[in-house]
Amino acid sequence: MQRERSLWAQGFRHVAGIDEAGRGALAGPVVAGAVIVDASAYDAPVWSAVRDSKQLSPAARATLAPQIEAAALAWSIGVVEAAAIDALGIAPATRRAMIAAIEALIPRPDYLLIDWVRLPLVNIQQESRAKADQHIVSVAAASILAKVHRDRIMVELGERYAVYGFAAHKGYGAAAHLAALSQWGPSPVHRHSFAPIAQPASLLDLP
C-alpha cells in the first residue's frame, strides 16, 4: 500500500488502480478492472492477501474477488467485445475498457495508477508503471477483478460455443484451442484480426 499511502499524504483521496485481462487472447473480450482503496480502511486484511492475478490460482482469485469488492471504497469493470477489438485494434480497445471502468467509479477518482497503459484522453492525474500489478495493491486488486470477471464470461461463452473449450483455456492460444480452430474455424466471439485466425492457412500447419 506504499504508493497509495504516499498519494493520500499528498492530498489525493480517491486513488484508483487500473488493470486489464485478456489482452493476448484469441477470443472473447478484453476486460478492465478499477479499484479505489478506502484510505480509512487501508489495513483491511484482504489488502495484505492481494497479489498480481497471474500469481494466484483460480480458486484464490475467486475467494479474493468478493472480499475486494466488499472492502474497496469503489470498484468497477469495463468490457470491450471481440468485434470492437477487431475494429479498433487491441491497444485502443484496452484503453476503451479502462476508460469505461474509470467512468463507472463512484466517487470519481482523483489519481490513477495504471499497469503499462497510458490514458492521455482521461483528464485525471495518472501514472503508468511496468508491472504495476506486482507492486501496487490497488492495481493488483483491479487485476484480480478483471481476471475473475473475464473468466466468468469465457465459461459462459464456452457453453454457447462448446467445441472450442473456452472454459479450460479462456480463449488463449492453447494447443487444444488451436486444434479446434483448425477443425471448426473461428466463432463470432473470436478476434478475427489476430494471428493465426487472420491467416487461416497457418492453422493447417499444426503438428
Full-model pTM: 0.95
pLDDT tens track for 49-105: 999 899 999 999 999 999 999 999 999 999 999 999 999 999 999 999 999 999 999
pLDDT tens track for 126-180: 999 999 999 999 999 999 999 999 999 999 999 999 999 999 999 999 999 999 9
pLDDT confidence bin for 207, thresholds 50/70/90 = very low
Domains recognised in the chain with CATH numbers? 2-161 (3.30.420.10)
Cell of 162: 462448446
